[in-house]
Copies of this chain bind each other. A is one copy, B any other.
Amino acid sequence: MSQQASRRDRLVAFRRELHRKPETAWTEFWTTARIVEELREVGVDHLYVGREAMDPDLRMSVPAGEELDVAWDRARNAGADPELLEAMRGGYTGCLAVLERGEGPTVALRVDIDGLPQREAEEGDHAPAGEGFRSEHEGQMHACGHDAHATFGLGVVEAVKESGFSGTLKVFFQPAEEVVGGGRAMAESGHLDDVDYLLAAHVGLDFPSGEVVAGMDGFLAVTQLRVDFDGHPAHAGKHPEEGYNAVQAMATAVQNLYGIPRHLDGATRINAGRVGGGTASNIVPEHAFIEMEARGETTELRDYVLERAESVLEGAATSHGCEASWEVVGEAPSATSDEELVDVVAEVAGGVRGVDSVRRRGDLGGSEDATYLMQYVQDNGGAATYVGIGTDHPGGHHTATFDVDEDSLEVGVDTLTGTILRLSERA
């Protein structure tokens, strides 16, 4: 970000630059490279990229090699730093910036940086289209504001560095949140072991511009499974009796997955969101699959649904002489924001320019793998909160017309920076 321009202009410019080149989960090659470039310009004490910022074995929902390669080539063609690219080859994206400023607590901020497989609206009344920063990657879009989140991260590093902050700041630029695939790998990287306070942030969520939510709760714990049913094919006209029909097994499973009983202790969810099977109308299907998820208001409730789901999958396969197998492809626990941090954020936000409403608590009602990091810190005796930065968004999250009110960029940076400074005074 050019230091000549006003801070607001610089934040807006960077967010728009990212907006133009959205990259989906584990393909944030260009995005990571640009963030690193900016961090180098600001100057940080330590910079960890890709594998160094995570436990590489714990990545989930990594796409196929071909998809990674296409995105990697695209990033190279767009001029990303070849050395960085080489380090990230294979989908090891994201990074961690560390400022060491003497005595004091270790405070961490986690922002996510991936885009979505969503085509962006091209009508002129959609600001990115009208003002020329619509996605250049057809079929991919920053439709959930992670371009703003990355900008928050960068803005906070810069502001904290210029402040009288005393202690250690770690800003995690996390890849692959949308597939709940990157949180755990960063949580268990070792970099969180000494963290006293963790902040995570999200724009929008139906809160208007000018509102800050000091602590979000209501994270649904989630597990995403890939399920495969393997049977035996047969000529459907001539030898139906030779088939063990994987599509029948899958359909039986779908019927019964949705029939898993509700639970006294709170909300649960189940969804067989993507299914398929078979090859042609005249062949008894040999193979079928389900991409599904189970959620719960608590991790225990999610696990209850999962346990029931496993019986359903086994039973459905058995019913049709098939084999069922499955693997976890994405996961996040539930979490709650700690009251002591909610207090600090609420107090700080009240004094931030542009904030006209401070809400103590809000409900996410969805899932987020920031919970892995929150839980890790809390389990180690630290405290965590998930902060909502309100923004007027014309379309809903994950839709073609989503956009953020760019006034929220400074609100986010100031609220988070202010909280970090206040926390540093606590030691």
Contacts and interface: CB of A to CB of B under 8 A. Distances in A.
A112 interface: no
Nearest to A291: B281
A382 interface: no
A204 B219 CA distance: 35
A237 interface: yes
A380 interface: no
A261 interface: yes
B320 A311 contact: yes
Q: Among the interface residues A264, A281, A292, A330, which one has the most CB atoms of the partner chain B within 10 A? A: A281
Q: Is the interface of A mostly helix, strand, loop or mixed?
A: mixed
A426 interface: no
A368 to B, nearest CB: 10
Interface string A267-284: 111011111111111111
B274 A237 contact: no
Contact of A236 (B236, B241, B247, B293): B293
Contact of A273 (B220, B284, B315, B398): B284
B318 A311 contact: yes
Contacts of A263: 240-241
Contacts of A367: 237, 282
Interface of A: 220, 222, 224-225, 235-241, 243, 245, 247-248, 250-252, 254-256, 258-259, 261-265, 267-269, 271-285, 288, 291-293, 295, 304, 308, 311-312, 314-321, 330, 365-367, 398
22 contacts: A222-B237, A224-B281, A235-B366, A236-B295, A237-B295, A237-B365, A237-B366, A240-B269, A241-B304, A250-B275, A252-B319, A256-B319, A262-B267, A264-B365, A271-B283, A274-B279, A274-B280, A274-B281, A275-B276, A275-B277, A311-B320, A315-B315
